[in-house]
A = this chain, B = another copy of it.
Amino acid sequence: MDKKEYIKRQISRTNKKDYENYVITRIIHGVDDLNVKFITQQYVKRPNGRALADLYFPQMNYFIEIDEGHHLTQMEADKARDADFEDATGVKPKRIDVASKSIEEINQQIDEVITEIKSLITEKKQEERWVDWDLEAEMSPDTWIKKKKIHVNDKVAFRKIVDGCKCMGLNYAGYQRAGANHPFEENTLIWFPKLYPNGVWENEFDESKGLIIERNIESVEKRHAHIRSCLNDNRQRRIVFARVKGMLGDVQYRFRGVFELDKEKTNNEIGLVWTRVSKETRTYDYM
């Protein structure tokens, strides 16, 4: 996928029936910079489930919400939402009111947002903290090998399992279904699990607590056998690239951190419990 396809798909996800498409396209065309990445309908975690931000610029950590309806109860709900938003992202979303405003006022709000975005970009460039949007590089293991480490906050996601292996210094050979033995770190598996219920596995992942639960529900015997075999395996440290659906519905493997088996919490009822010991891990060049 190239930027042309990416942009089309992102814009195609905006709702046409209301003003969302109008506002978002005015912002994108107004910013008018193919080095600036944007994401429409970005998931944001909330205490009770999650919310979608209408537009998100990851390079500037800038979120935009389009307010279609506005009465007082709505404004209260928005305040609660903004607070949750700030907890999750560190920033308040910028709100654009389209419900009670004229087209001239809507345009004015949007143009202020565009000015703000442009000055954030300029600021980052002056401070030399700006990196151009590079769709290919983002998903290339070489980018992360060069950086010498990956962090959960980098939101690294690879298209293929082999790319995750590569940045751990392993070139294809040696990959197995469950993952691959780390070539340089002892007792460590490079792991590509599905961290959600799938088939006979009732797996869970809690990002805020940094916990993975792995539970076989095929039968009591199989669950116990699986737990026993892991407790007897020396690879109780895992570098986790979880299989997720990408923004555009494609399969990706997203770095979730380094986990270790929590023998205290693990038991035959709950299943295996893995605890995150680091949000960061170093990368290695492959041969």
Chain A residues packing against B (C-beta within 8 Å): 2-4, 7-8, 11-12, 14, 16-19, 21-22, 25-26, 29-30, 32, 34, 102-104, 106-107
Contact = CB atoms under 8 A, between A and B. Distances in A.
Given A8-B19, A29-B29, A32-B107, 20 more contacts: A2-B102, A3-B103, A4-B102, A4-B103, A4-B106, A7-B22, A8-B18, A8-B22, A11-B16, A11-B21, A11-B25, A12-B21, A14-B16, A16-B21, A21-B21, A21-B25, A25-B25, A25-B26, A26-B29, A34-B107
A211 to B, nearest CB: 39
Please give me the 6 A-B residue pairs with the lowest Cβ-Cβ distance, nearest first. A25-B25, A4-B103, A12-B16, A29-B29, A26-B29, A3-B103
Per assembly, the copies of the chain total: 2
Contacts of A8: 18-19, 22
Mostly, the A contact residues are helix
Contacts of A14: 16
16 contacts: A2-B102, A3-B103, A4-B106, A7-B103, A8-B19, A11-B21, A11-B22, A11-B25, A12-B17, A14-B16, A16-B16, A16-B21, A25-B25, A25-B29, A34-B103, A34-B104
Contacts of A17: 12
Nearest to A24: B25
A32 B25 CA distance: 12
A30 B28 CA distance: 11
Contacts of A30: 29
Select the residue from A17, A30, A103 with max chain B CB neighbours within 10 A.
Answer: A103
Contacts of A32: 107
Contacts of A106: 4
Contacts of A25: 11, 21-22, 25-26, 29
Nearest to A102: B4
A142 B4 CA distance: 48
B2 A103 contact: yes
A106 B8 CA distance: 12
